[in-house]
Each structure stands twice: as structure tokens, then as C-alpha cells.
């Protein structure tokens, strides 16, 4: 890795940490550069704007998440196993990389972050659910499954539920989905 690439990655990691801690709006490019030990002008040379930096952080997080999910899913042989692998891998990701997961949910991210990206993990989950022939729209069900992981993670972080509660909830939802898999043919 070149010095330029190391600097680029350092700025992305630092921005991720500060955006997660303070929010997008409250974080300045000066703070990011200072914490990274880099001149603010260097940050602008790499990204042009704070918004472009946020887009790159989003892309980096989504790529990391997608790589983790895809690796887990590729190990499975049936659609049922792929769904379980996806859900368990997502749960592991949010536990291992809370800063990255939190960044994806910042309420003050600029719209450009979402306009320039396709959320590959949701596309992967939608494909799995389509293969399962679930009796509801696969994308809607995918959003509900991801929402379950998100909400139980939040509940765990604030002390409302335990790891075991989180795991049992996820397994119950997966069992419910798989119980109805294949029943879309009759609808």
C-alpha cells in the first residue's frame, strides 16, 4: 500500500469514528484531519468535500459488510442455509463492528451518501428470499429481517435484552420465515 493509500484509509477510519461519535453534521473536516494527524488540505485533496468523504466512508462500510455476508452465504448450499448464514453473519457484524453499523444509521448523513450507492447486502438478502419463494414481497421481508437485527442490537446495547434474547429472537424469525418458504407458489 502506498503512502497516499494509507492516508486515504486513515482519513476514512477517522471520519467513521468521529461521525459515529458526534454525528455527521457536528463533525468538522478540521477535527477529522487533526485526529488523523494530517493537514486539512490533504483531506480536501483526497475527497474534495466532507460530503464526498461521507460517501467514501459509506462505500467502505457497505463493502466490508457485503464481503462478510457474501463469504458466509457462499458456504451454504441451500436457500434455507443461505438465509440462516446471512442473518447470523449480519448479527456477528453488528456485534464486531458497532462503529460501522452505527454509521449506516446516522440520521444526519447527507442524501448524496444514499443516492450514489446501492445497498448490496439488501440485494443479496432479497435474492435469497426470492429463491425461497416466500409468500410476501422478498424486499419487504428482507427489510423486516434486517430491522429485527437492528432493533435487537439496539435493545442489547441499552440493556433491554441479553445476547440470548437477541439470538432467540433471530432464530424464531428465521424459523417463521422458513416455515412459510415455498408457499408463494399457491398465491
Report pLDDT digits (tens) over 135-156: 888 988 888 888 888 888 888 8
* Domain extent listing, the chain: 3-186
Residue 54 has pLDDT above 80, yes or no: yes
Contact 103, 48 (CB under 8 A): no
Q: What is the pTM of this model?
A: 0.85
**Average pLDDT for 3-24:** 95
pLDDT in tens, 67-93: 999 999 999 999 999 999 999 999 999
C-alpha cell at 47: 475527497
What pLDDT shows up at residue 171? 92
For 12, other C-beta atoms within 10 Å of its C-beta total: 21
How many residues in the chain? 187
Give me the chain's average pLDDT, please: 90
- Of 18, 6, 157, 28, nearest in space to 99 by CA: 18
Q: What is the mean pLDDT of residues 30-41?
A: 97
Q: What φ, ψ does residue 124 adopt, rounded to 5°?
A: -60, -45
% of the chain at pLDDT higher than 90 = 60
Q: Using the 8-state DSSP alphabet, how is residue 41 labeled? A: H
Per-residue burial over 116-138, b = 16 or more CB atoms within 10 Å of its CB, e = otherwise: eeeeebbebbbbbbbebbbeeeb
DSSP letter for 135, please: S
Burial class of 66 by CB neighbour count within 10 A (0 to 12, 13 to 18, 19+): middle
Q: What is the pLDDT of residue 185?
A: 47
Question: Given this structure, which CATH class describes domain 3-186?
Answer: mainly alpha
pLDDT beyond 90 at 24: yes
Q: Would the pLDDT of 186 be above 80?
A: no
Using a pLDDT cut of 70, give the percent of the chain over it: 96
Residue 118 has pLDDT above 80, yes or no: no
Amino acid at each position: 500500500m502506498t503512502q497516499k493509500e494509507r492516508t486515504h484509509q486513515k482519513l476514512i477510519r477517522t471520519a467513521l469514528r468521529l461521525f459515529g461519535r458526534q454525528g455527521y453534521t457536528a463533525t468538522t473536516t478540521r477535527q477529522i484531519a487533526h485526529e488523523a494527524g494530517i493537514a486539512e488540505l490533504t483531506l480536501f485533496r483526497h475527497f474534495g468535500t466532507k460530503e464526498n468523504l461521507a460517501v467514501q466512508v459509506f462505500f467502505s462500510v457497505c463493502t466490508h459488510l457485503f464481503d462478510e455476508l457474501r463469504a458466509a452465504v457462499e458456504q451454504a448450499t441451500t436457500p434455507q442455509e443461505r438465509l440462516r448464514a446471512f442473518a447470523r453473519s449480519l448479527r456477528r457484524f453488528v456485534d464486531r463492528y458497532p462503529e460501522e453499523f452505527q454509521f449506516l444509521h446516522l440520521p444526519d448523513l447527507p442524501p448524496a451518501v444514499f443516492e450514489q450507492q446501492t445497498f448490496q447486502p439488501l440485494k443479496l438478502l432479497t435474492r435469497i428470499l426470492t429463491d425461497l419463494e416466500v409468500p410476501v414481497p422478498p424486499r419487504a421481508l428482507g427489510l423486516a429481517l434486517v430491522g429485527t437485527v437492528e432493533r435487537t442490537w439496539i435493545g442489547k446495547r441499552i440493556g433491554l435484552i441479553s445476547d440470548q434474547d437477541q439470538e432467540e429472537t433471530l432464530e424464531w424469525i428465521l424459523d417463521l420465515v422458513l416455515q412459510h418458504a415455498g408457499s408463494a407458489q399457491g398465491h
